[in-house]
Structure 1
Amino acid sequence: MTERSERADGGGTETALGRGRDEAGRSVDPAVAATAREELRTTFSYQVERLREIDTKAIEILKANLVLIGIVVTGGSIVVQTEFELGGFLNLFTLAGGALLLVSTGLAAVTYTASDLRGGLSIADVDAVVAAERRVAEPSDDGAEPPVGFDERLLRSYAEWIDYNARVIAVNDLLATVTVLLVFVSFVYVVAGVAVGAAGLTAVESLLSFAVLTAFAGGFTWMSAHMDHLGPETTHPDAAFEGVQITKGSDRAKAGASLVEMLGRDPDARRRREREAAASEDRRDE
């Protein structure tokens, strides 16, 4: 090996080391990035499976409710043509049960159509990655700080995807839970209505019974809907990661806030997220 080649190799090594030091300040350790990326990918996959499970339950409830409504309508049309007296069985209980069954059917349809996960790289993202890698490969003399490494950008993107998907799951799980509870409560009202009609209670007694049953049904629904989680519990001082709620997505308070935002009734939050997205795009282009 000649002296020139040794100097060239030495200079190349020094340049590579210098570039590695420069990039080290703007990138994540490859081993740490690989471990974190694998964990994030696993969490993302769990979220996809959970949302698919919620959608399956919603569509099954929707089908069952539609079949039940069809049976009730058909049976009612047949009974009307007979001499059987239905006046005593068409009371507040049965009417409320039928209304709740219709509401649960609508919520099941909304739950199925509200699923919208976020993830993956778009064409613009790939273009931004290629442009950033080119800026890293081409040395700059203006002293500008090198762009953030691809590993860090991917990890942060995964974190944002998971956070967004958790809010979607929280909304869908809330809707699915309310749907199931409404189906149960509707059957309770129908059974109570049949019992009241058979017992021949007076109007005052029926109203009092309806109020009592409604109070119990409301309390039961609220308690069941808010049995969402036990809260994070740290048993080791080094357990710094609280994790993501895979099944519920988030607690009911955040689920309600996300539902309000999804309905477009929180313009301040929407504008704030749009500003954050615009700032993220600006940082990505720098």
Structure 2
Amino acid sequence: MATESEIDSDSDSNSGSDDRAVDAGDSSGSIGGDGVRDDGPGGVDPDTRALALEEARTTFDYQVERLREIDAKAIEILKANLLIIGVFVTGLSVVGQTDIDVRAFVNPHTAFGAVLMLVSTAIAGVTYTTSNLRGGVGRDALEAALSDAAFAERLVRSYGEWIEYNAAVTAVNDVLVTITVLLIVDSFVFVVVGIGVGAADLSPIGVWASFAGLTLALGYLTHVAYQMDHVGSVGSSEDPTTATFDGVRLSKGATRGQSHDALRRTVQARDEGTTEPAERERKRKRNSREGKT
């Protein structure tokens, strides 16, 4: 039979072992009730957070390059259209001083082609001016980095918002530049056919019939080309047990339907006078409420 002193000695020994075990556990990180180690703010593993931040930065950088590519394409189209319009106006002024009769070449085809050229020029200018990227850290974020232990986690979430916003900007710009390119192609087709119709000296009925047929054919082909915005789900995993991310539409930003919604919101925001400072103020209040809860 154990004496009272032996029991006290065993109790002290077990207590010391428990204390050492707790100290060892504290030095290696806290363990949750499910046995999962909590390595940082919010229970996010540092390696996982670093990987998410790296992937977010890669996606963000590609979005920036894609928008620069769209802007460069828009400005090149704008320059080319202005050059063509300038040459066309100069040619008309020169021909007007001669005895050449150009009335046969002034028909619905060439007139509509000229209108499409002007519209595409205007849309190219709008495309270049609507780019408004969001991202990067400002003064407030840098101050938070010095005082907020969860800065890395907050930065990852911020990248998510920036990527979503820039995807909407990419979607709008892609719609505009696609329309611009298609209108230019249609414009050249109408002008070339118009010159051919003028040279063929068709009757007025024949001219309007050819114009209607060309308009319907080009309208259908343009619609098909405009809707060819994505491959769909080709190449995606069909195994329901496989967990994957949908990913971001890097080149187009979104589907055509989502792009139209983004364009509508952009126009409405401009009409309603929504400003960037007001948006930041709403976000600051939202973050303040989330911090209180």
- Can you list the C-alpha shifts for 1:175-199, whole angstroms capped at 9, x where unaligned? 1111111000000000111111111
AA aligned opposite 2:182: L
Gap change, CA 1:116 and 1:102, over 3 Å in 2: same
Give the one of 100, 103, 108 matched to 2:116: 100
The RMSD of aligned alpha carbons is 3.0
Query: Counterparts of 2:90 and 2:138 in 1: how far apart (Å)?
Result: 50
AA aligned opposite 1:205: G
Determine helix, strand or coil for the equivalent of 2:148: helix
Gap change, CA 1:150 and 1:23, over 3 Å in 2: farther
Deviation larger for 228-237 or 51-60? 228-237
Deviation larger for 19-28 or 214-223? 19-28
AA aligned opposite 1:173: D
AA aligned opposite 2:232: G
In structure 1, the residue matched to 2:7 is: none
Q: TM-score, normalization: structure 1? A: 0.81
Instruction: Note the 1:109-258 alignment, pairs <5 A.
Output: 109-133=125-149, 149-232=150-233, 233-236=236-239, 237-258=241-262
Query: Counterparts of 1:169 and 1:118 in 2: how far apart (Å)?
Result: 12
Gap change, CA 1:23 and 1:29, over 3 Å in 2: closer
**Superposed displacement of residue 156, structure 1:** 1.1
The answer to whether the 8 A contact 1:170-1:248 is kept is yes
Gap change, CA 1:90 and 1:54, over 3 Å in 2: same
Gap change, CA 1:276 and 1:208, over 3 Å in 2: farther
In structure 2, the residue matched to 1:43 is: 59
Query: Counterparts of 1:25 and 1:127 in 2: how far apart (Å)?
Result: 18
Query: Counterparts of 1:259 and 1:214 in 2: how far apart (Å)?
Result: 26
The answer to whether the 8 A contact 1:27-1:152 is kept is no
The answer to whether the 8 A contact 1:61-1:108 is kept is yes
Deviation larger for 44-53 or 229-238? 229-238
In structure 2, the residue matched to 1:4 is: none
- Can you list the C-alpha shifts for 1:98-141, whole angstroms capped at 9, x where unaligned? 110011111111111111111011222333444434xxxxxxxx
In structure 1, the residue matched to 2:287 is: 281
**Superposed displacement of residue 22, structure 1:** 7.8
The answer to whether the 8 A contact 1:260-1:266 is kept is no
Higher relative contact order (CA 8 A, sep 6+): 1
Give the one of 56, 60, 68 matched to 2:72: 56
Larger Rg: 2
The answer to whether the 8 A contact 1:33-1:152 is kept is yes
**Superposed displacement of residue 210, structure 1:** 1.0
The answer to whether the 8 A contact 2:70-2:177 is kept is yes
The answer to whether the 8 A contact 1:54-1:173 is kept is yes
AA aligned opposite 1:234: S
- Can you list the C-alpha shifts for 1:203-253, whole angstroms capped at 9, x where unaligned? 222111111111111111111111000223224542420111111110111
The answer to whether the 8 A contact 1:65-1:105 is kept is yes
The answer to whether the 8 A contact 1:104-1:182 is kept is yes
**Superposed displacement of residue 151, structure 1:** 2.5
Q: TM-score, normalization: structure 2? A: 0.80
Matched, 1:29 2:45: yes
Give the one of 94, 101, 107 matched to 1:85: 101
Query: Counterparts of 1:277 and 1:234 in 2: how far apart (Å)?
Result: 37
The answer to whether the 8 A contact 2:113-2:186 is kept is yes
The answer to whether the 8 A contact 2:230-2:255 is kept is yes
Gap change, CA 1:265 and 1:93, over 3 Å in 2: farther
Instruction: State the percentage of identical aligned residues.
Output: 46
